[in-house]
Amino acid sequence: MGLLEKIQSPADVRRLTPTQTVELAEEIRGFLVRTVSRTGGHLGPNLGVVELTIGMHRVFSSPKDTFVFDTGHQSYVHKLLTGRQAFGDLRQRGGLSGYPSRAESEHDVVENSHASTALSWADGIAKANVVRGLNDRHVVALIGDGALTGGMAWEALNNIAAGHDRRLIMIVNDNGRSYAPTIGGMAHHLDTLRTTRGYESFLEWGKRTLRRSGPPGRLAYDALHGLKKGIKDVVSPQGMFEDLGIKYVGPVDGHDVDDVERALARAKAFGAPVLVHVITEKGRGYSPAEQDVADRFHAVGQIHPETGLPVAPSRFGWTKVFADEIVAIGHDRPDVVAITAAMLAPVGLAPFEKAFPARTFDVGIAEQHAATSAAGMAFAGLHPVVALYATFLNRAFDQVLMDVALHKAGVTFVLDRAGITGSDGASHNGMWDIAMLRIVPGLHLAAPRDEATLRAALRTAVDIDDAPSVVRYPKGALGDPMPALDTLDGVDVLARETGTGTGGAGARRRVLVVGIGAMAGTALEVSTALAAHGVDTTVASPTWVLPMPSALVKLAGEHDLVVAIEDGIAEGGAGALLGEHAALARVTTPVRTVGLPTEFLDHASREQIVVGHRLTAADVVRDVLDDLSRG
């Protein structure tokens, strides 16, 4: 029986000897490689924080001391040390979440996996502890260096610096990377701290020298500290944090449990806000991850643990189409520039950056800045393309509204992983964008259904120079092409089918089936099934859903029932908007909206979510036939 199997709570970790902590770290690394290679998940980040997390649990007492993880993907080791070792179904329905989860454990606090929020959470918890007189506990926030590129982290630091009575420890896990190498002034500052160790080395040398020469005389003591003061700003630039009033400890070797424990114990004893700067290596102890320069091991699917290669090669996907088309657009349009928020490769902008390095801007984990900076670029004569995961645009809604739309800035937002993403859970499902963006005046939004419509939508979007444009597409592989039968004022008609069955009460009724984006394939399946029940059907797929096409409203009036299918939230989504426009146009045809509920979805596969929320073609057909039988 290994050490890991005996760990049921942090108390078990604190009872280990120093030698056993080293053994435990190696066991954990082997466990993570074996299990995550089977389930997929965030492998590289967790391999890098093994000793650091062990040290945290040996110095502090969770849950009395509150641990907050930013962004949460680096919490696998924390799960193991708090008694959660059933990793066989990690990120699968009914299994462990890939992020902290209050439902799983009292040791988990913050479930939101968006970056740069942990310091604000920690500040609020520490303030509450002071107000309630709970002076026997600490708040420990683990934040990656990449998350320090986000503005919220600095808003929090500004407030934390004023709280000298708060027992708050901020651990900066500095591995020089988020999804990709960390960029910007903060990264350069941490680089300096990481590589400049002369100050601490000088102090240690001075202490050793004085010890060897006997009790130091006043002259030697004054000389040492005078020299210390003179060189501090040269060789120890941690002054930025200390000038804010935040005690700085580090840099610390994050792969030496003893060093980590000593640093955290010093921070704990200080009794006020402390920043502990810990140097780690992403992917530590796993050769394929250590040698990776493209961050393929930040998050992995199923891989062969020996080689790190995928079990099943990924199919040609939506992101690859965008990556290819945006480069082609870049060759045609020298005014087109690309912006990413620390996710150059995941959103498909790496080829553009290679082709046009001077026209590619990685702003760090700072979506708000990305949007407003893009507005400035548009004012100055460029057409920016801002590529994000759909769920991360939520963070920049005010900037889209007030900086881009209000100023009629020609900025294109490309939203990868729109709709259901599945295994990463509530914070990653890109289900909010249509309902959120439909209230932005003048905004254009496209939901392409296949490769051809994605390429065409991108071309159209970058031609819009007086309003924001958005192109959204799902996660994963592309389906088969779905060519239009004909086009009515911009609305593609994919099929018209005449009912062939006897069908009962629904026979000879006309149903318009509207498939939004990735749900166009489902709409075609619904149409075929309804026709078999004697129902005449038309399938429409509007690539551009905002503004709502008047041709789609007119088409709705030519049918007895409209069913609109989307993988965003139904309340306030594209189907609801069609119903509102139909009512305004005095179209009396009822509109059935089929989409996701307005609630946070637990982690599960896309298929499980589709089935669980009755978005399958069979479910839609049953509901439509029920509507027709009643009408």
Q: Is 291 helix (H, G, I), strand (E, B) or coil?
A: coil
Rounded Cα distance, 181 and 479, in Å: 33
Torsion of CA 222, 228, 233, 236, to 10 degrees: -160
Instruction: Indicate if 282 belongs to the active site.
Output: yes
Residue 561, burial from CB neighbour count under 10 angstroms (0-12, 13-18, 19+): buried
Residue 88: exposed, middle, or buried by beta-carbon count in 10 A (0-12, 13-18, 19+)? exposed
The pair of structure tokens assigned to 263 is 């640093």
| Length of the chain measured in residues | 631
Residue 119's contacts (CB-CB under 8 Å, 6 or more residues apart) are 70, 141, 143, 152, 153, 156, 157, 160, 170
Number of H helices, E strands in the chain: 26, 18
Q: How far apart are CA 550 and CA 581, in angstroms?
A: 8
The verdict on whether residue 541 carries a ligand-binding annotation is: no
Is residue 395 among the annotated active site residues? Answer: yes
H-state helical runs in 244-394: 257-270, 287-290, 318-332, 350-355, 367-379, 390-393
Please tell me whether 423 is known to bind a ligand.
no
Q: How far apart are CA 15 and CA 91, in angstroms?
A: 30
Q: Phi and psi dihedrals of 67, rounded to 5?
A: -100, 130
145 labeled part of a ligand binding site: yes
Nearest-angstrom CA–CA distance, 565 and 575:
7
The residue from 367, 451, 497, 525 that is catalytic is 367
- Which residues, in sequence order, are CB contacts of 76 under 8 Å at separation 6+? 32, 36, 41, 42, 46, 87
Residue whose C-alpha is closest to residue 236's, from 278, 275, 199: 199
CA nearest 565: which of 541, 601, 536, 546?
A: 541
**Plot region of 116 (φ>0 → left; ψ -120 to 50 → alpha; else → beta):** left
Taking the C-alpha atoms of residue 378 and residue 397, their distance in angstroms, rounded to an integer, is: 18
- d(CA 370, CA 411) in angstroms, rounded, equals 11
- Of 58, 166, 177, 282, which is the active-site residue? 282
Q: Which H or E run includes 476?
A: none
Confirm or deny that 146 is annotated as ligand binding.
Answer: yes
Catalytic-residue membership of 554:
no
Query: 585 labelled as ligand-binding?
Result: no
Q: Catalytic one among 84, 284, 395, 417?
A: 395
> Is 147 one of the annotated binding-site residues?
yes
Q: CA end-to-end span of the chain, whole Å?
A: 66
Short-list 112, 106, 190, CA closest to 146: 190
- Residue 283 assigned ligand-binding role: no
Q: Specify whether the CB–CB gap between 80 and 31 falls below 8 A.
A: yes
Taking phi over 0 as left and psi of -120 to 50 as alpha, with beta for the rest, 7 belongs to beta
Query: Does 115 belong to an annotated binding site?
Result: yes
Q: Which two tokens stand for residue 157?
A: 């630091």
Q: Which residues are annotated as a binding site?
A: 73, 113-115, 145-147, 175, 286, 367
Q: Which residues are catalytic?
A: 282, 367, 395
Q: Which residues are annotated as a binding site for Mg(2+)?
A: 145, 175
Q: Which residues are annotated as a binding site for thiamine diphosphate?
A: 73, 113-115, 146-147, 175, 286, 367
